[in-house]
Amino acid sequence: MAHTVDERPAAQSPWRARLARRPLWVRVTAVYLGIRVLSGVLLALAAQDQVWFPAVTGPAEDDIDLTVSWDAKWYERIATEGYPDDLPVGDDGRVRQNPWAFYPLFPYAVRLVSWATTLDFATVAPLLALLAGLGAAILLARLVVETTTYDGAPRVGPALAVVAVWAAMPAAPVLQMAYTESFSMLLLLGFLLLLVRGSWVGCGLTALLLGLTRPIALPLSVVVLVAVWLRWRERGDRPLGARERLDIGVAVVATGISGILWTALAWAGTGQRDAYPTTMTAWRGEAAINPIEPWRRTIEWAWEQRTPETVVPALSMVLALVLSLALVVPRLAPAIDVRLRMWAAAYAVYLLAVVDGNTSIVRYLVPLFPLAIVLVGAHRRSLSRWWRWRTAFWVLAGFVGQVGWIWWLVVFEPPSDFPP
């Protein structure tokens, strides 16, 4: 196993030398929780500017907590009441917004812990989200260490820098809010780490759990197929045995099933075959979901209106798409594992194809963690001499972005209804 180094011993201060002797997960925990504390301070300050609105803010009028606002109200409803047996229908005959739009793993995990501890949703949900986000950060650091080498050896320093930049991105406070993002990131990074290690069955089982957190099976399937192709190319040096072929089949099939798992469960729960897609149209205010069409309109609106509510989503998606597709070119990011590069590209294209172009797109960009590797300057085999300065700049820029994201989107001021 290659030796893991951070710095040359002569260049280390006593404090950094002591820190370097700590296990990776300890260093990641210090970095990640430090950033989350600062984000928590921003959320607490912003809560002072939030007026009470029962359907949006929580948990109580005299105790407003932005970590349990917006979609958290839906997750609380699921955790306490479960899912309805029938889809609610308005006077116009169309299905109204309802809990079936939200995936069950996070709220049911909160329900289980609340039952075991007798603690309420407002206490358990943000805590579970925080812990899941910490687990995701540890897996991210491990994934970077195991898939990249700089100057011939893996290095922990750049992995910690990637975690810091990712954890400080503008929408990263959602990782400590009662949202499903932290659970999905934990499972996504576990999925990718198992895939890189060749643990096909574990990868497939993780994909099934992911199918109960967020609808991202399509880009996952692309990544799995790329991994299968890479393994097939190695069959001359590493023959494929019958057991491994079976394991690969399990991973491919399980990832495919994860894409339809929640749709099938919604059908079983309501007796209506199109329960999930019909529910999603209620959020879009449309009769059907048309791929690409929402983004065409979003870009047109951004060009015509030039308001933050239209420009920020369009610009965020275009930049994310361009950068993610650029990663596919090996010469542009040779230090990033091809499976991680394909994840970034496939996920960005997926967002453009199926997701609404509203302000929530800033939050949807959280899974594009390979871009943090580029921002740090750790995407080339020879590590940039300025990577620490780049890390500091992007962490600072991320906190500035958090201020904007929290006060613009998380703090609710009607009649504006732009979701975080």
- The mean pLDDT values, 10 residues at a time, for the chain of 420 residues are 43 61 92 98 96 88 93 96 94 89 97 97 98 98 90 81 97 98 98 96 97 92 96 92 96 96 96 92 70 76 79 86 91 92 95 84 95 92 87 97 95 84
How far is the C-alpha of 381 from the C-alpha of 335, rounded, in Å? 5
Question: Minimal CA–CA distance to 172: which of 154, 157, 185, 187?
Answer: 185
Per-residue pLDDT at 68? 96
Q: Is 292 exposed, middle or buried (0-12, 13-18, 19+ CB in 10 A)?
A: exposed
Q: Is the pTM of this model over 0.85?
A: yes
d(CA 417, CA 251): 41
**Residue 78 corresponds to which tokens in the numbers above?**
């699921």
For residue 312, the model assigns a pLDDT of 84
What integer pLDDT is reported at residue 289 of this predicted model?
A: 65
DSSP, res 102: S
């059908």: which residue's tokens?
Answer: 267
Rounded CA gap, 157 and 136, in Å? 17
Confidence at residue 367, expressed as pLDDT on a 0 to 100 scale? 97
Residues β-bridged to residue 63: 60
Q: What pLDDT sits at residue 6? A: 46
CA dihedral (107, 98, 258, 294) positive or negative: negative
pLDDT of residue 313: 84
- Domain ranges in the chain are 9-410
The pLDDT of residue 286 is: 64
